[in-house]
Structure 1
Amino acid sequence: MESRLERFRELIKEKKLLDSTLAILHWDLETEAPKAGQELLSQMIGNISLKSYEISTSPELIEIVEFLREMKNELTPVEKKEIEDFYEEMDKLRKIPAEDYKAYTELTAKAQGIWAEAKDKNDYKIFENYLEQIFDYNRIFANYREPEKDPYDVILNDYEKGMNVEKLDEFFRELRREIVPLLEKIKMKKINNEDYIEGKVKKCNQIVFSKYLGEYLGFDFNRGIISQSEHPFTLTVNRDDVRITTKYIEELPLSSIFSTIHECGHGIYEQGIGEELKDTLLADGASMGIHESQSRFYENVLGRSMEFWQPIYKNLQEKYEYLKNVTLDEFYKGINSVRPSLIRVEADELTYSLHIMIRYEIEKGILNGKYKISQLPEIWNEKMKEYLGVEPKNDSEGVLQDVHWSCGLIGYFPSYALGNVYSIQIYNKMKEEMNIKKLLEDKKLDKIKEWLRNNIHKYGKMKTPKELIEDITGEGLNAKGYIEYLKEKYSKIYNLN
């Protein structure tokens, strides 16, 4: 058994080195790579992905893992969990032919550049064929793995263990049932708080303030960097090399602030994973829903609170000079202004989940054959009008606004809505143990980060999302607290009855 464990570790180290190389290549592809070099980078990604796949599905590793599963009672808790998780991943991969896997990784690497070009040129047709291939591959892979199941159920479970269409349909029905009437009440007030925060800020000032914010939040720049990309994201090489990006728009200067706070939430999670998990396959977030709970917690619960800005608002005014005559109260109302908008990443906290519902329904419709890829711009626009009362003028502010599908992240979007709910469940538990508002006023964000690290971050993938949220809150996924949080917050801001 010891010799097999040792060989398992050797093979996993080799796989992790390949996966880390892939992460660096993806980082380069999405941040610095010249357009002309993207074809070669895509081929490199496909080649190295295949090598990682070959290790994961090799007869030697399969034999070792199956043997160790039989000996699970003699393994440590970390070894046991890692073996079980890897067995599931290995079982998925070995059902997918190697040539299909390589072709798909090359396709998604190339598609990101095509998506960026299509968005820049405001032309969905440029991207349409690539998107169709990506969805086709996802449907085919799901059928390879579990042919008796709805393909979307198979895919959703990859992002949130135990999740499926039936559960999400009910989850979104509950959110829509409560959010839409609240939104209508706010619309009737006809109050525009956005006037307070409209302005223009030079990119150089935004860059300086983003770095300041990262340090203030507790993102460790000795083990991470911040750069810029067309669509903000977080990429982890390992817990000591965590990379985040934001996007700087001079006419929308607050966009980079909340993108930075959001990505720092992801990054702080990755940096907080336990040292003992560093070289294992468990050095990752429990699920994408839990991961998004951390980014949404930092962005909304902390970053859109009065108490967060109270001690640092003057620092912001120095770099964002147009805010010099805007009071903190006006700024707070501005950053919490509710107005249905076209762009998801710029959406207010209340309408955000409606953006996610649109994407969820589209993904489901494509995978079950209800929608055709060629129809997506029209379908997208119709759903935006139905859910939010706004309609995109072009593809760039419509169906092309998100990078996710070009990366192959089909099934990811529901994680944002799940993360919203998880974040408030976690927040409500935290409030029982500490005075969060006072900690923010006193600039003691390290205390908040420490609680998150001890209760969530350090466990990595040692716990499933269900186990993690139940251990923290005593209950599973429950949207009730999130709905109450929204009602209380926006009733105060808009003086609702």
Structure 2
Amino acid sequence: MEKMEELKEYLKKIEYLASSIALLHWDSAINMPKDAVKYRSEMIGYLTGESYKLTTSEKMKAFIDYFSEIDGLDRLNKAIIENITREYNKVTKIPEAEYVQYEIDKTLAQNAWEEAKKKKDFSVFKPYLAKIIDYNKRFSEYWGFRDNKYDGLLDIYEPGMTTERLDAVFGELKEALVDLLQRIKRSNIKTDDAFLKGNYSAESQRKLGEIILGQMGYDYEKRGRIDVSEHPFTINFGNKDVRITTKYDTSDFRPAIFSMIHEGGHGIYEQNISDELEGTSLSVAASLGMHESQSRFYENILGKSMEFWNYFYPKFQETYKELEGVDLTSFYRAINCVEPSLIRIDADELTYSLHIIIRYEMEKLLINSDINIDDIPKLWNEKYKEYLGVEPEHDAEGVLQDIHWSCGDFGYFPTYALGNLYGAQFFNKMKDEIPDWRQQITCGDFAPITKWLNENVHQHGATLKPAELIKKITGEEPSAKYFIAYLNDKFGKLYDI
């Protein structure tokens, strides 16, 4: 136990560096002057180098060697050793200079992406993206993979997941989505959401968002905050400082409100990871897919339910004259309108996963060198035309719409769709244990649901792998069937199909 306490003190140093780097990234997105980007990238590079040294040191190897000989470790301590061993094996396979330069180049790439998006010009971002793709190809080779080079990257965000498994799950999901979408197109019920366009000040949206977030259980006053960024995100520095961002559109409150609910789901997860896990390397989510299960659950399963808006809609009507003559049923139909669109973060609940599948297919092709970087915009546009029947007019609403590739997050996008599947599977179990959930949400009482998620999902951090956590909660392996059933039930009723 003395040795374990010594290890935890060592891991805290790595945690402090990770939080410092994250804080610099947060400031880069929120406050940093444009001309500071080069120096900021060098700061991040330096701190990353220090983190690399601690993570790959002889002292860390000595800890791993020592505990590998110990039998009978309890569940928590065993998880700590498994996690640091996994991280050690991954990081030590990347040369230190390359690891540091990668962090520097990512910061430069993010700045180039912002400029390219504003100019609607992929060519501005292309040389930076080419570098990031090459890094990820090499990293996957360093780490090794069985059948598909993409597996090495996928495992970072969703431990244990493989391309083979994901192809099967996404194949089933894609077939179900396309079938449901075609039936909706043939439906006699046509939903119009045009009446929601109006004049909505950013300040009024922020105030309403704060009311919703507070009711949900995200503490934005003492343990969080809400800021504005080009792309909404959540970031944390321990469970007592979890920050979210959004982006306001004064002609339509939906993007900001639903992104706040989405990021609030992430924030609730982070704020409720057990204090016991601080300094263990496990005070993070079980996976990015598990993280997305929480954000997508709050945003869609709850946030776009009739029960949710039965409580919150009067507050919106009091704030916006545009809604005075719009009844709740019409509003509910409008926020759940199925309409294939170009922008992922604005996509409706049904078509959203098709946006993810497009990105997943693109990433596999890029990482396996089946296409080159010049093919990206054209292929992107072709896939949107084929899968969703829409085509971007320029790069900003096409291949440049997401920040993720500039951050090096190849393998991340699939977790959004996996989050949909996990969230629906949890919801199926939760309904059995909280049978009156509809009445509670209708009254604005989120506490029982958030408590259920705290106890079953959040508090465990990364002590369990995602598949293990799902099996522990639901008694089943991860499955697409609950999400497919949920969509068919919800949209079947909305469109009378």
TM-score, normalisation: structure 1: 0.97
- What are the superposed Cα offsets for residues 333-388 of structure 1, whole Å, 9 maximum, x if unpaired? 00100000000000001101100010000000001111111111101000000000
Q: Which secondary structure does the structure 1 equivalent of 2:237 belong to?
A: strand
Which residue of structure 2 lines up, in the alignment, with residue 491 of structure 1? 492
- Which residue type is aligned with residue 23 of structure 1? A
Which residue of structure 1 lines up, in the alignment, with residue 12 of structure 2? 13
Which residue of structure 2 lines up, in the alignment, with residue 372 of structure 1? 372
Kindly indicate whether the alpha-carbon contact (under 8 Å) linking 1:203 and 1:249 is maintained by their aligned counterparts in 2: yes
Aligned pairs (5 A) from 1:55-454: 55-73=54-72, 75-146=73-144, 150-189=148-187, 191-221=190-220, 222-434=222-434, 435-454=436-455
Q: Which secondary structure does the structure 2 equivalent of 1:151 belong to?
A: coil
Kindly indicate whether the alpha-carbon contact (under 8 Å) linking 1:269 and 1:453 is maintained by their aligned counterparts in 2: yes
- Which residue type is aligned with residue 165 of structure 1? T
Q: Which secondary structure does the structure 2 equivalent of 1:312 belong to?
A: helix
Kindly indicate whether the alpha-carbon contact (under 8 Å) linking 1:338 and 1:351 is maintained by their aligned counterparts in 2: yes
- Report the more deviating stretch, 91-100 or 366-375: 366-375
- Which residue type is aligned with residue 482 of structure 2? G
- Distance in 2 between residues matched to 1:209 and 1:353, nearest whole Å: 28
- Report the more deviating stretch, 434-443 or 405-414: 434-443
- Following TM superposition, by how much is the alpha carbon of 1:149 offset from its aligned partner in structure 2, in angstroms? 5.0
- Distance in 1 between residues matched to 2:271 and 2:32, nearest whole Å: 26
- Following TM superposition, by how much is the alpha carbon of 1:198 offset from its aligned partner in structure 2, in angstroms? 2.5
Which residue of structure 2 lines up, in the alignment, with residue 476 of structure 1? 477
Which residue of structure 1 lines up, in the alignment, with residue 25 of structure 2? 26
- Distance in 2 between residues matched to 1:66 and 1:223, nearest whole Å: 38
- Report the more deviating stretch, 318-327 or 287-296: 318-327
- Following TM superposition, by how much is the alpha carbon of 1:207 offset from its aligned partner in structure 2, in angstroms? 1.6
Q: Percent identity?
A: 46
TM-score, normalisation: structure 2: 0.97
Which residue of structure 2 lines up, in the alignment, with residue 467 of structure 1? 468
- Following TM superposition, by how much is the alpha carbon of 1:260 offset from its aligned partner in structure 2, in angstroms? 0.3
- Following TM superposition, by how much is the alpha carbon of 1:199 offset from its aligned partner in structure 2, in angstroms? 2.3
Distance 1:231 1:72, change over 3 A: farther
- Distance in 1 between residues matched to 2:317 and 2:408, nearest whole Å: 40
- Following TM superposition, by how much is the alpha carbon of 1:194 offset from its aligned partner in structure 2, in angstroms? 1.3
- Report the more deviating stretch, 125-134 or 142-151: 142-151
Kindly indicate whether the alpha-carbon contact (under 8 Å) linking 1:206 and 1:319 is maintained by their aligned counterparts in 2: no
Kindly indicate whether the alpha-carbon contact (under 8 Å) linking 1:107 and 1:130 is maintained by their aligned counterparts in 2: yes
Kindly indicate whether the alpha-carbon contact (under 8 Å) linking 2:196 and 2:252 is maintained by their aligned counterparts in 1: no
Kindly indicate whether the alpha-carbon contact (under 8 Å) linking 1:69 and 1:84 is maintained by their aligned counterparts in 2: no
- Distance in 2 between residues matched to 1:32 and 1:292, nearest whole Å: 26
- What are the superposed Cα offsets for residues 476-497 of structure 1, whole Å, 9 maximum, x if unpaired? 111111111111111111111x
Kindly indicate whether the alpha-carbon contact (under 8 Å) linking 2:215 and 2:445 is maintained by their aligned counterparts in 1: no
- Following TM superposition, by how much is the alpha carbon of 1:216 offset from its aligned partner in structure 2, in angstroms? 1.5
- Following TM superposition, by how much is the alpha carbon of 1:148 offset from its aligned partner in structure 2, in angstroms? 5.7
Kindly indicate whether the alpha-carbon contact (under 8 Å) linking 1:82 and 1:282 is maintained by their aligned counterparts in 2: yes
- Following TM superposition, by how much is the alpha carbon of 1:193 offset from its aligned partner in structure 2, in angstroms? 2.5
Q: Which secondary structure does the structure 1 equivalent of 2:395 belong to?
A: coil
- What are the superposed Cα offsets for residues 313-345 of structure 1, whole Å, 9 maximum, x if unpaired? 111123333112111111100010000000000
- Report the more deviating stretch, 118-127 or 210-219: 210-219
Q: Which secondary structure does the structure 2 equivalent of 1:340 belong to?
A: coil
Distance 1:110 1:320, change over 3 A: farther
Q: Which secondary structure does the structure 2 equivalent of 1:220 belong to?
A: coil
- Following TM superposition, by how much is the alpha carbon of 1:204 offset from its aligned partner in structure 2, in angstroms? 1.6
- Which residue type is aligned with residue 28 of structure 1? D
- Following TM superposition, by how much is the alpha carbon of 1:177 offset from its aligned partner in structure 2, in angstroms? 1.1
Kindly indicate whether the alpha-carbon contact (under 8 Å) linking 1:119 and 1:396 is maintained by their aligned counterparts in 2: yes
- Distance in 2 between residues matched to 1:72 and 1:78, nearest whole Å: 14
Q: Which secondary structure does the structure 1 equivalent of 2:396 belong to?
A: coil
- Distance in 2 between residues matched to 1:278 and 1:59, nearest whole Å: 23
- Report the more deviating stretch, 193-202 or 28-37: 193-202
- Distance in 2 between residues matched to 1:320 and 1:299, nearest whole Å: 21
- Following TM superposition, by how much is the alpha carbon of 1:6 offset from its aligned partner in structure 2, in angstroms? 3.6
- Which residue type is aligned with residue 288 of structure 2? M
- What are the superposed Cα offsets for residues 66-103 of structure 1, whole Å, 9 maximum, x if unpaired? 21121142x33222211111110011000100000001
- Distance in 2 between residues matched to 1:193 and 1:148, nearest whole Å: 48
Q: Which secondary structure does the structure 2 equivalent of 1:68 belong to?
A: helix
- Following TM superposition, by how much is the alpha carbon of 1:147 offset from its aligned partner in structure 2, in angstroms? 6.1
Aligned pairs (5 A) from 1:26-65: 26-65=25-64
- Which residue type is aligned with residue 339 of structure 1? E
- Report the more deviating stretch, 423-432 or 64-73: 64-73
Q: Which secondary structure does the structure 2 equivalent of 1:95 belong to?
A: coil
Alignment gaps of 5+ in structure 1: none
Kindly indicate whether the alpha-carbon contact (under 8 Å) linking 2:157 and 2:415 is maintained by their aligned counterparts in 1: yes
- Distance in 1 between residues matched to 2:7 and 2:429, nearest whole Å: 39
- Which residue type is aligned with residue 141 of structure 2? N
Aligned residues: 494
- Distance in 1 between residues matched to 2:199 and 2:254, nearest whole Å: 9
- Distance in 1 between residues matched to 2:328 and 2:49, nearest whole Å: 53
- Which residue type is aligned with residue 348 of structure 2? D
- Which residue type is aligned with residue 154 of structure 2? L
Kindly indicate whether the alpha-carbon contact (under 8 Å) linking 2:425 and 2:482 is maintained by their aligned counterparts in 1: yes
- Following TM superposition, by how much is the alpha carbon of 1:278 offset from its aligned partner in structure 2, in angstroms? 2.2
Q: Which secondary structure does the structure 1 equivalent of 2:150 belong to?
A: helix
